[in-house]
Every structure is written in structure tokens, then in C-alpha cells.
Amino acid sequence: MQLKNLADKYDQALIRTNVGDIKVQFYTMDAPLSVNNFLNLAEEGFYNSTMFHRVIKDFMIQGGDPNSRDSDWSNDGTGGPGYQFKDEINAHKLVRGSLAMANSGPDTNGSQFFIVTADETPWLDGKHTNFGYVTDGMDVVDEISAAAVNENAHPLKDIIVEDVQLLNSAD
């Protein structure tokens, strides 16, 4: 995994969805690998046309799986960029608005991420890297969180990440 150091250039991103926009600020100093991974994937268009494939009301919304682009819902949640990287557990608790890496166990981070909608999730602290937080568009996150879902927490209507724009708060 060879990543460009984009965290020196960008400290925010705008996740554009078919529901609305979600602006996030990164914890660059506390999760540099996770931030750079997200920025690199976003810059290359990896997240474009992926879905928020897992939505659990009053808990979280999850996206970032390339498998979610196809019509086969059974493989959603299993895809990634073709590599994994280590956790960067830090002091930031996973609370409402947190942006964190989804994983299937220790040090299995890839491309999938989630945004917390619960006020707090102490059972996740120490298990998922918190690498940022929502600064604008929490109303969009809440609208996504309220979507009708099937028995596997997959939204019944497509919630599409159209693209991710990289931003610098100094601009």
C-alpha cells in the first residue's frame, strides 16, 4: 500500500450523496494512516457511486464498499481496496457525528467507514479508528439513518455516494 501524503494538503472532505452533502473534518494528527487512506481513495474516485449499504437507526450509517455498486446486496459489506492496515486507536470517543473505520477485527481496515448517529457507543471505543467528525450535514446523516431497511440493515432505496471532494479549511 503506497499512499501519497495528502493530509498535508487536505484536512476536510465533502461527501456528496443523492440525499445531500456531509462535510467532515479529519483527526490528521491522531489517525494519519486512516486519514491518508481515505483521502487517497477519495482522490482516485474509489468512493464514487458506492452506497451507504448498512444503516442502523440511532446507531450508525456505513459506506465505502466497492461491492455496493452492483445490484447484488449479498456481497455488500465484504469489499475493500485490496489491502488492509493497522488500527490507530486514539483518545477520541465514538460519539454522534464521529467518522470511523469499519473493520472485521483488529487491524483489518480498508475502505469502509461509518458515521455514528447514537449519542455514544462505548462498546466500539478501542475497536475502531475514529479519524474525523461531521461538521456540517448531520441532518443528512440523520435522514440516511431513518431510511427503510431490510432484515440485513440494507436500505431499500439506494443511498449513493456520488463523489467525495477534498477540501482545505485554510482555503
Instruction: Please write the tens of the pLDDT for every residue from 3-24.
Output: 899 999 999 999 999 999 999 9
Please state the φ and ψ torsions of residue 95, each to the nearest 5 degrees.
Answer: -125, 175
The CATH number, out of the four listed (3.40.640.10, 1.10.3720.10, 2.40.100.10, 3.40.50.720), of the domain defined by the range 12-167: 2.40.100.10
Please state the φ and ψ torsions of residue 74, each to the nearest 5 degrees.
Answer: -65, -20
**Rounded Cα–Cα distance for residues 139 and 2 (Å):** 35
Which range, of 70-84, 90-104, 105-119, averages the lowest pLDDT?
70-84
Query: Does residue 129 have a pLDDT over 90?
Result: yes
Q: 85 catalytic, yes or no?
A: no
- Grid look-up 493497522 returns 86
Q: Which of 40, 67, 103, 130 is catalytic?
A: 103
Q: 62 catalytic, yes or no?
A: yes
Give the mean model confidence (pLDDT) for residues 40-62.
98
Q: Could you tell me the pLDDT band of residue 170, with boundaries at 50, 70 and 90?
A: confident
Give the mean model confidence (pLDDT) for residues 47-59.
98
Give the mean model confidence (pLDDT) for residues 59-67.
98
Q: What is the mean pLDDT of the chain?
A: 96
Please name the amino acid found at residue 84.
Q
**Rounded Cα–Cα distance for residues 55 and 149 (Å):** 7
Query: Does residue 61 have a pLDDT over 70?
Result: yes
What pLDDT is attached to residue 1?
67
Q: Where are the domains of the chain?
A: 12-167
Q: 92 catalytic, yes or no?
A: no
Give the mean model confidence (pLDDT) for residues 45-57.
98
Q: 3 catalytic, yes or no?
A: no
**Rounded Cα–Cα distance for residues 45 and 27 (Å):** 21
Give the mean model confidence (pLDDT) for residues 129-133.
99
What does the block give as the cell for 91? Answer: 483518545
Q: 26 catalytic, yes or no?
A: no
What does the block give as the cell for 140? Answer: 443528512
Q: Which of 16, 53, 96, 128 is catalytic?
A: 128
Q: Which of 37, 62, 67, 109 is catalytic?
A: 62
What does the block give as the cell for 160? Answer: 449513493
What pLDDT is attached to residue 171?
79
Closest by Cα among 130, 168, 164, 142 to 19: 142
Q: Is there a contact between 65 and 154 (Cβ–Cβ < 8 Å)?
A: no
What pLDDT is attached to residue 132?
99
Q: Is there a contact between 25 and 12 (Cβ–Cβ < 8 Å)?
A: yes
Q: 156 catalytic, yes or no?
A: no
What pLDDT is attached to residue 105?
96
